[in-house]
């Protein structure tokens, strides 16, 4: 059943794409032009993240974090910083795909409960995806009408993003406080990283995302080059690359996003509704629609026309998915990574944390947004 889901999504997306172009090719092209860049960017980031993971960068960071953490709370704070940083630079999907097993290992190596780091990786990746355009595909879809560099976006959104990350961290720490009482363990075995292609690619991606207003092709080129070298030197195989990137899922979501983007251009209902809402209502609607249809198609539908409150819309699209598994692709990647690492994550437990964290983090981010005079 699990193997059929990517194929089902691919078929749904391709059917949606064909129908969109058949109904109105002009609007479908506009929707595709708005949506292609985010999907190309995340593909490049996932490729770079795969190489960085293979070089041991994430595992070494997790091991070092476990070594320097004097107690469970310090470990959790350090993990939150690491999750937020990786999410900001390499996208939330890269974060959950590669940091989830690292953090599970980190918790186990200290002899304590893994729940705070396991569920924290998912919720904090979603919460930390407001820092840069490339941190979340939804950012790029919503900003498709506006040419804004990564540095400009960061200058506008760093404060709401930071407070959302902090509030989500506090909620997880309080609700999972029992499992933060970790025993200190002697971590004499070292975990080393290869300072080569992975590190160079991560640095290049960070610079490109910050400097270029449209970094998708450049970042994708970096990803293709470093993975291509791994393939040529037979340190990687194509089947694994396709599996890690999730080509079928990304292609399917792209088709669905274009279909809904076309609908949003043909039907003025979503744009009219958003034009009559304030920032708080906009964020709330975005959160609910994200859970209903996934945040990527939701972004394409709600931002088919220039939204009245784009930053508030992003807060709902990025934080709302923490409510339920249908909210974002990150949930699927997180489940897959956790199960491979031997964990048994509970969707109900993750959602319970999200039900508390989402309204509080959204409210905090919106207060900061209003205080900074943004919408």
Judge contact between 53 and 105, C-beta under 8 A. Answer: no
- How far apart, in whole angstroms, are the C-alpha atoms of residue 282 and residue 94? 28
> Domain extents for the chain?
22-371
Mean of the pLDDT values across residues 262-284? 92
- How far apart, in whole angstroms, are the C-alpha atoms of residue 61 and residue 98? 12
pLDDT tens column, 197-245:
888 998 898 888 778 877 889 999 999 999 999 999 988 899 989 888 8
| pLDDT score, position 155 | 93
Q: What does the DSSP assignment read for 239-271? A: HHHHHHHTHHHHHHHHHHHHHHHHHHHH--HHH
- How far apart, in whole angstroms, are the C-alpha atoms of residue 128 and residue 134? 12
Measure the CA dihedral 199/221/124/342, to 10°.
Answer: -70
pLDDT tens column, 146-158:
778 888 999 999 9
Judge contact between 318 and 284, C-beta under 8 A. Answer: no
Burial state string for 281-320 with b = 16 or more CB within 10 A and e = fewer than 16: ebbbbbbebbbebbbbbbbbbbbbbebbbbbbbbbbbbbb
pLDDT(1) > 60? no
pLDDT(320) > 90? yes
**% the chain with pLDDT above 90:** 48
pLDDT tens column, 216-228:
899 999 999 999 9
pLDDT tens column, 275-302:
999 999 999 999 999 999 889 889 999 9
pLDDT tens column, 170-188:
999 999 988 887 555 555 5
pLDDT bucket at 111, cuts 50 / 70 / 90 = low
Three-state SS for 9-22 is: HHHHHHHHHHHHHH
Query: 19-28, 57-66, 271-280 — which is least confidently predicted?
Result: 57-66
- How far apart, in whole angstroms, are the C-alpha atoms of residue 375 and residue 120? 28
Judge contact between 53 and 98, C-beta under 8 A. Answer: yes
pLDDT bucket at 121, cuts 50 / 70 / 90 = very high
Q: Which of 22, 298, 306 is nearest to 146 (CA)?
A: 306
Q: What is the DSSP letter of 191?
A: -
Phi, psi of 298 (to 5 degrees): -60, -40
Structure token pair of residue 267: 């039907």
Decide: pTM greater than 0.75.
yes
pLDDT(67) > 60? yes
Q: What is the DSSP letter of 70?
A: S
pLDDT(194) > 70? no
pLDDT tens column, 354-364:
999 999 999 99
């Amino acid at each position: 059943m699990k193997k059929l889901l990517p194929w089902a999504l691919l078929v749904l997306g391709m059917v949606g794409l064909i129908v969109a172009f058949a109904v109105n090719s002009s609007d479908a092209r506009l929707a595709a032009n708005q949506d292609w860049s985010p999907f190309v960017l995340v593909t490049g980031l996932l490729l770079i993240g795969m190489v960085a993971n293979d070089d041991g960068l994430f595992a070494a960071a997790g091991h070092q974090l476990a070594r320097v953490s004097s107690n469970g709370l310090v470990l959790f704070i350090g993990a939150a910083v690491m999750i937020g940083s990786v999410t900001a630079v390499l996208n939330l999907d890269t974060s959950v795909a590669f940091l989830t097993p690292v953090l599970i290992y980190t918790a186990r190596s200290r002899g304590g409960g893994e729940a705070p780091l396991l569920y924290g990786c998912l919720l904090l990746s979603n919460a930390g995806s407001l820092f840069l355009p490339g941190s979340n595909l939804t950012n790029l879809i919503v900003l498709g009408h506006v040419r804004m560099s990564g540095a400009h976006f960061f200058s506008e959104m760093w404060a709401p993003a930071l407070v959302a990350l902090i509030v989500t961290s506090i909620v997880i720490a309080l609700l999972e406080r029992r499992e933060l009482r970790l025993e200190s363990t002697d971590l004499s075995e070292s975990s080393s990283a290869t300072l080569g292609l992975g590190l160079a690619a991560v640095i290049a991606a960070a610079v490109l995302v910050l400097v270029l207003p449209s970094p998708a092709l450049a970042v994708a080129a970096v990803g293709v080059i470093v993975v291509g070298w791994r393939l040529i030197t037979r340190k990687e195989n194509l089947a694994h690359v396709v599996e890690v990137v999730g080509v079928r899922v990304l292609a399917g979501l792209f088709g669905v996003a274009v279909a809904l983007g076309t609908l949003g251009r043909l039907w003025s209902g979503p744009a009219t509704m958003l034009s009559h809402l304030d920032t708080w209502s906009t964020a709330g609607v975005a959160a609910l629609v994200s859970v209903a249809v996934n945040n990527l198609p939701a972004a394409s539908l709600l931002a088919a026309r220039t939204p009245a409150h784009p930053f508030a819309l992003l807060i709902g699209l990025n934080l709302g998915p923490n409510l339920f598994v249908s909210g974002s692709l990150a949930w699927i990647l997180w489940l897959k990574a956790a199960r491979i690492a031997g964990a048994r994550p509970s969707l109900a437990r993750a959602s319970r944390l999200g039900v508390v964290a989402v309204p509080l983090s959204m409210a905090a981010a919106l207060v900061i947004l209003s205080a900074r005079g943004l919408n």
